[in-house]
């Protein structure tokens, strides 16, 4: 197994192109190295992207944040401003593993690992984040909900890497939130995860909203029906009931050791209500 640590995105893309199916990108390595260790993967070349400066930066431009794909969870949390603008994204990324894992794990890796239960992904989808993807033909931007297709299957090519996530500029009275259900308080994989991002008008009416669910389908889902439920309304109990129903209706889960289909469908509604309430309180400046 070879190890390469390119200093630029172009070098990383060239190395990936040359490696073909034998190449694997490593950011934090918290999923990749476990898969190598347990012989799930046997890559010929590991391409470590942590040495590429632009992938390690968080920059703000006209209110939009560009978060490098190899920024760690710990670095996200320590950023002076990101958490106040995108609390849901930061809290979701910080649910991935332990303090030790947070020191290495990245949102780029969380997405590219291709797990339907990845915690940061529903939060990014709810945020309307775009993934910036670099490949031999240059760069393109793809909505985060379009990156994963199925467990371990992505829409991005073998010779492409995610370089950053772009979180759009926020109008006033906007916020987001993420919650997951697990049977303990820490260190577990989501049975269901839910992210909500919303904006309120001056009169308290919801003017924009996105809701995404994790671990209830073959990939994290954007629930477009949630937008129709929330936008144009004041978010009250009746609206929250409808939101929960829309979340449940979008689920197409499997039964597994972490939860049954029936349980996941029910919990999706509970989480959708709770997460929307938290995002609402944050947008109103109460939290």
Partner 1 sequence: MSKHHVTTKINGDETEFLCETDETLLDVLRNQLGLTGTKEGCSTGDCGACSVTVDGRLVCSCLMLGVEANGKSIGTIEGMAKGEKLHPLQEKFLSHAALQCGICTPGFLVAAKALLDKNPDPSETEVRYWLAGNLCRCTGYDKIVRAVMDAAAEMRGA
Number of residues located near partner 1, criterion CB under 8 A: 26
Q: Is 59 exposed, middle or buried (0-12, 13-18, 19+ CB in 10 A)?
A: exposed
CB neighbour burial string for 193-220, b if at least 16 within 10 angstroms, e if fewer: bbbbbbbbeeeeebbbbbbbbbbbbebb
180-199 residues near partner 1, rule: CB under 8 A:
185-187
Query: Is residue 18 at the binding interface for partner 1, with CB under 8 A as the rule?
Result: no
- Tokens representing 176? 């987001």
Neighbouring CB atoms inside 10 A of 191's CB total 23
130-169 residues near partner 1, rule: CB under 8 A:
none
Residue whose C-alpha is closest to residue 193's, from 118, 135, 255: 118
Binding window for partner 1 (CB under 8 A); candidates: 22-30, 140-148, 253-261, 273-281? 22-30
Query: Is residue 41 at the binding interface for partner 1, with CB under 8 A as the rule?
Result: no
Q: Indicate the residue among 103 and 135 with the shorter CB distance to partner 1.
A: 103
Taking CB under 8 A as the criterion, the residue among 3, 61, 62, 138 binding partner 1 is: 3
Q: Residue 256: CB partners within 8 Å, gap ≥ 6? A: none
Q: x-or-dash pattern for partner 1, window 266-285, by CB under 8 A?
A: --------------------
Query: Is residue 24 at the binding interface for partner 1, with CB under 8 A as the rule?
Result: no
92-131 residues near partner 1, rule: CB under 8 A:
97-101, 103-104
Q: Indicate the residue among 64 and 74 with the shorter CB distance to partner 1.
A: 74
Write down the residue that tokens 């109103």 correspond to.
284
Query: Is residue 236 at the binding interface for partner 1, with CB under 8 A as the rule?
Result: no
Give the DSSP letter of residue 182: -
Judging by DSSP bridges, how do beta strands 2-4 and 45-48 pair with one another? parallel
The residue ranges that bind partner 1 (CB under 8 A) are 1-3, 28-30, 33-34, 36-38, 46, 48, 50, 72, 74, 97-101, 103-104, 185-187
């Amino acid at each position: 197994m070879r190890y390469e640590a390119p200093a630029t995105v172009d070098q990383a893309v060239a190395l990936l192109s040359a490696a073909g199916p034998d190449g694997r990108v490593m950011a934090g390595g918290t999923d990749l190295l476990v898969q190598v260790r347990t012989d799930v993967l046997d890559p010929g070349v590991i391409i470590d992207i942590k040495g590429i400066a632009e992938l390690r930066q968080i920059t703000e431009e006209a209110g939009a944040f560009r978060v490098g794909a190899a920024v760690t969870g710990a670095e996200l949390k320590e950023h002076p401003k990101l958490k106040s603008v995108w609390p849901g994204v930061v809290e979701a990324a910080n649910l991935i593993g332990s303090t030790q894992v947070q020191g290495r794990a990245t949102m780029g890796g969380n997405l590219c690992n291709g797990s339907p239960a990845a915690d940061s992904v529903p939060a990014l989808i709810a945020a309307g984040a775009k993934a910036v993807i670099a490949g031999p033909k240059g760069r393109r931007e793809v909505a985060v909900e379009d990156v994963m297709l199925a467990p371990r299957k992505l829409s991005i090519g073998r010779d492409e890497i995610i370089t950053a996530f772009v979180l759009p500029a926020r109008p006033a009275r906007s916020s987001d939130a993420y919650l997951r259900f697990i049977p303990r308080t820490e260190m577990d994989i989501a049975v269901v995860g839910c992210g909500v991002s919303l904006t309120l008008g001056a009169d308290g009416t919801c003017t924009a909203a996105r809701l995404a669910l994790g671990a209830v389908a073959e990939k994290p889902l954007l629930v477009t029906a949630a937008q129709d439920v929330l936008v144009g309304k004041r978010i009250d109990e009746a609206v929250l009931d409808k939101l929960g129903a829309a979340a449940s209706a979008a689920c197409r889960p499997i039964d597994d050791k972490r939860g049954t289909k029936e349980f996941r469908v029910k919990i999706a509604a509970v989480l959708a209500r709770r997460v929307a309430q938290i995002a609402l309180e944050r947008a109103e400046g109460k939290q």
